[in-house]
Amino acid sequence: MQDQQPGSFYCYVPKSPGPIVGLLLSRTKSEKLVHSKLDAVLNSWEDDNALSSYSETASSFTRAGSLPQQASLPSPSLGSLPQTQSYVYKHAGLTVKVGLEEVAADLFRVKPYVYSAPDHSAVIVFSGCLHNLSELARRRSNHSARSSAASPRFAADPNNAFASGLERKGSIERSMDLGAMTASTVLGLYLDGQQEGNELIMLSELQGEFAFVIYDNKHKQPFAARDPSGEECLYYHVSEDGAVSFASSRLAIPDGEQPHEWRELPPGHYISGKVPKLHQFALTPEQLVMREMQQEDELDDSSGSGSLRAAEGAATRRRSLALDAGEELHALAAQLQTRTSLDNDSSVKERGVDGGLFTLDM
């Protein structure tokens, strides 16, 4: 019988160097910085070895931008889940401790799941689930089939055929398929949005509970998001030199760093850009409830008969999400405008939404 095993992840993205600085900063020096961060995380996972002790393996997937073939994820039903997966790029690094989450009796979910684009243009680590995965995966599969001749990005990607994997039975094996499909689908939607110049297209299509981090190797920048429910945790930290780090839990914070300096990414928000900025893309359930209460109060205060108020209330509710959400998000964005920058113009204790600090749950 399988036991539940907690999983976690950590991603480190140094401040993107300018063209002149990039020439002066050697690849070796940059990689050493990334490796040192990942080593610190792996050292905190007592049952794993430091990345530096895997010099040959680390070197191979540093050049490729993805895991070597021999390190691919086996079936966890055999009790052979690898403890960690690490992806190292010239200016970023990601390490994942794979775990199993029991969602029902003898039904497990692989969490988190990491996936790299075949052309190594981007990598994603995803935690959670999508309720409309089947629809999104089939759409991505059809889109990839049409565009594979024009772009090799997904032409050789076996996960494009994973939509049919939803029909497969079994607990953990099916969860493996779902995990790979979810991660590859979200990454594909992000890359499509990049091509169209609007990464928010991807966020608007995701229905479920999730937190994920993407490292865009082509543009040398991160993209991290958390759904409005806040069911999945995601934390971030901005260092004095402008580097940004992400972690799914206290267990993934590198040794030597102070957990109280990390901040929770608010639900319904995302971080992106070479100079990362924080934006809200959706209202949280609490914000929706507060808005509805406010609308009801306004209706109660208005003149007219009870039937008129009831009719107005019904009409308001029908059009609230379609018409008002965008306006309210614009208002919220305006309120947050002076607080969205995550660069190092202010002190450590003032970074983040409202400048508030938080303490991770022990």
Give pLDDT, residue 13: 94
Comparing CA positions, the residue from 21, 100, 36 lying closest to residue 245 is 36
Q: Which of 30-44, 122-136, 263-277 has the lowest mean pLDDT?
A: 30-44
DSSP for 12-26, written as a single string:
EEPPPPPHHHHHHS-
What tens digit of pLDDT does each residue of 283-299 get? 888 888 888 888 777 77
DSSP for 27-77, written as a single string:
HHHHHHHHHHHHHHHHHHSTTS--GGGGHHHHHHHHHHSS--GGGS---GG
Give pLDDT, residue 221: 93
Comparing CA positions, the residue from 184, 189, 273 lying closest to residue 236 is 273
In whole angstroms, what is the distance from residue 210 CA to residue 36 CA?
28
Q: What is the pLDDT of the chain when averaged over all its residues?
A: 70
How sure is the predictor about 359, in pLDDT bands with cuts at 50, 70 and 90? very low
Q: Supply φ then ψ for residue 237, to 5 degrees.
A: -145, 135
Q: Does 267 have pLDDT greater than 50?
A: yes
In whole angstroms, what is the distance from residue 123 CA to residue 85 CA?
12
Q: Token match 């976690």: residue?
A: 8
What tens digit of pLDDT does each residue of 126-164 get? 999 999 998 998 887 776 665 555 555 544 454 443 444
Q: Token match 């610190």: residue?
A: 40
Provide the residue ranges of all domains of the chain, joining segments of one domain with +: 8-276, 285-339
Give pLDDT, residue 75: 32
Give pLDDT, residue 2: 59
* Cβ–Cβ < 8 Å for 227, 211: yes
Top-level class of domain 8-276: alpha beta
Tell me if the bond preceding 112 is cis, omega within 30° of 0. yes
Give pLDDT, residue 157: 52
Q: Does 44 have pLDDT greater than 60?
A: yes
Strand partners, 100: 5, 110
- % pLDDT > 90, the chain: 25
In whole angstroms, what is the distance from residue 31 CA to residue 294 CA?
52
Q: Which of 21-35, 44-58, 77-91, 241-255 has the lowest mean pLDDT?
A: 44-58
- Comparing 356 with 125, the larger pLDDT belongs to 125
Q: Supply φ then ψ for residue 160, to 5 degrees.
A: -65, -20
Give pLDDT, residue 143: 66
Give pLDDT, residue 303: 53
